[in-house]
Chain A
């Protein structure tokens, strides 16, 4: 098995290099065999297509080149050239005037953008080479090239995906890919509250932040990181499975024969999905507060003498969060389970009943295996979603109660994600926030990958069919 995987990996690597080699060979062949139009196109993009009458393709390619050169000379180069140092000229005060120096933030951001622009340009250049080759071969075979009208028309037919995906892909690139690459790079700098641009410069520090994360001595935040990580995992585990099983139980209860007003019960539960969470969770938070409704009534009725510290005792706060999360999560699972439970053929239960099975046995050997099989991927996404469940934690406790034993102002109920948020917003400790973000990614990715490959529905797609 392991060897198989290794072979597969080797194959992937070798196919990659084969493809790369083939690409280079094609470029070479295109150049040597090409006519002057093709050869000129190597420098002036799109010239070949324009001369062959493919105005639409040619002009687009040429426009890309012009834009690229304009971008790099007019804007990009000043940032790209400083990327290795992130700026050297500090902002100074001359008399009463502030003379701004280099802005490390913008240098890093636009430097990354430039690198992407260069990569994109290389890709466009390669497309240009391939286009020339394709046209030449077609003409040599005596075939006609498609007219401009046909090329345009294909954008709504054969190439409709290019039209559809153009805006989404650009949007995701600018607002997701670029920021993520930027933040990953921030993890290797000393960008924090003492190095805020534009007043101060920040610079590359290599792996220092990661060393800080796993250092258990002195000012290292290793112990805090481990505790927050452990609570994050425990929380996700509890939040996912309590909701899963209790939600299923409630769904079965409502589905039960002989229970009337099914729709009413469901509607009552679904209210927690419908009402915006910041309203319901903030109210529940106040309900459980030390001077809140619950403590108030319990004291009034003489059940307790002094208030129960729902949010201020670390252990109790964690339990309360999980309980409140059940309140939030059951309806969601109930909706999903209701539909799925009805899909289980009734005759399975019928024959089990004839064989003398009791309800618990039927649940164990019919309902549960079916549900686990069908909802495996859903459980996984729920789990990873709970790892990053910001709303519940932040609206209920904001990560409190604080602890003196934890570094970087982490609280006892902080998840990695709320901790990251606090570092960013309250402390402007961007470098450590970036490191934590990368850790969240690693945890999510590893768990997803491992669990996904263990899922029965992935291993055996045909089961239960």
Chain B
């Protein structure tokens, strides 16, 4: 009995050591990011250095970000928030509509539509980049109009990502719908007053995922806003700092900007984590 206990204690200690190691590895880049962002620009410049803890702490880099005469960072930040909010709202609406129709109603062409979208999804997204660019250009939604253009493109095709949401709807018993229909409720009424209120977790999940995606959108955003500094989002603007301006000392500024981007998004995510876990787990099991 005693040996079993000691064995278990050793196992636990090993487990803790492993977990602490993992935590250090996982946190290291973030700690580094925060520390570098406070490095004094005046005395140590903003380039890359081979030490982690700055010799002098200062807010130089943050001051730079808020100085509108030197950088458009605040504008990029605003652009990203605008894109994220609109995309989140409309994408959720689209996916709810598609999911309800595909989960609850049976009509000719339903399976065809689902298969067709599945096949469409196998084409790489970037393939159509040039075509989308010129399509948007026809409507004046590039460069200066890149923000609405990006929202339009993200929202327009979002109906194809209905899987997780439909999977959730499938678990709501159909008997509820039938009962409501016997009472004379229309499909639309069932959708708005019954299914939507019952789907709070999946709505939050969909909105959260849709909200977070634009913060990382570099590829298409940089293509559509090409050369038009005021239409950048944070990902485009700051990625350019890292790739082209490193020698001018933009590295610590990138760190500071990254911290400012990461804080609200991370807080939001942590706050809604429960719903996220529910969504990804459900989505993974149903495939």
Contacts and interface: CB of A to CB of B under 8 A. Distances in A.
Same complex for A and B? Answer yes
Interface of A: 105, 109, 153, 156-158, 160-161, 163-165, 167-169, 171-172, 174-180, 182-183, 250, 253-254, 256, 258-259, 265, 267-280, 282-287, 289, 291-293, 295-297, 299-300, 327, 331-332, 335-336, 338-340, 374-378, 380-381, 384, 388, 390-391, 394-395, 416-417, 420-421, 424-425, 430, 433-434, 437, 440-441, 444-445, 448, 457
A420 B124 contact: yes
Interface residues of B, number: 88
A430 B30 contact: no
B127 A180 contact: yes
B216 A277 contact: yes
B47 to A, nearest CB: 9
B201 to A, nearest CB: 13
Contacts of B218: 278, 391, 394-395
Contacts of B15: 253, 256, 258-259
A171 B94 contact: yes
Contacts of B29: 280, 283-284, 287
Given A160-B186, A172-B160, A276 B26 contact: no
B216 A434 contact: no
27 contacts: A109-B134, A160-B187, A165-B98, A171-B158, A172-B120, A175-B156, A176-B128, A176-B160, A180-B123, A180-B127, A259-B12, A265-B22, A270-B270, A274-B262, A274-B265, A278-B215, A282-B258, A283-B29, A283-B255, A293-B52, A335-B277, A375-B284, A375-B285, A391-B218, A420-B126, A437-B124, A445-B122
Contact of B188 (A160, A165, A265, A292): A160
B159 interface: yes
Interface stretch (B59-67, B70-78, B234-242): B234-242
Mostly, the B contact residues are helix
Contact of B19 (A254, A270, A273): A254
A253 B30 contact: no
Given A259-B15, A293-B32, A275 B266 contact: yes
B8 A258 contact: yes
Interface in B87-114: 94, 97-98, 100-101, 105, 107, 113
Mostly, the A contact residues are helix
B128 A179 contact: yes
A376 B23 contact: no
Contacts of B261: 276, 279
Interface string B187-219: 111010000000000000000000010011011
Interface in B117-144: 117, 119-120, 122-132, 134-135
B186 A157 contact: yes
B22 A273 contact: no
A278 B238 contact: yes
A299 B119 CA distance: 51
Contact of B48 (A160, A289, A425): A289
A300 B277 CA distance: 42
Given A269-B22, A282-B238, A299-B50, 5 more contacts: A157-B187, A165-B159, A172-B120, A269-B26, A273-B269
Contacts of B283: 378
A171 B219 contact: no
B124 A336 contact: no
A278 B269 CA distance: 16
A112 to B, nearest CB: 10
B172 interface: no
Nearest to A108: B131
Nearest to A376: B287
B120 A160 contact: no
B41 interface: no
B120 A180 contact: yes
A171 B159 contact: yes
B16 interface: yes
A160 to B, nearest CB: 4
A286 B258 CA distance: 14
B130, B153, B273, B280 — which one has the most chain A CB atoms within 10 A of its CB?
A: B130
A410 to B, nearest CB: 15
A280 B30 contact: yes
Contact of A271 (B51, B158, B186, B266): B266
A153 B100 CA distance: 18
Given A278-B235, A278-B238, A445-B119, A268 B131 contact: no
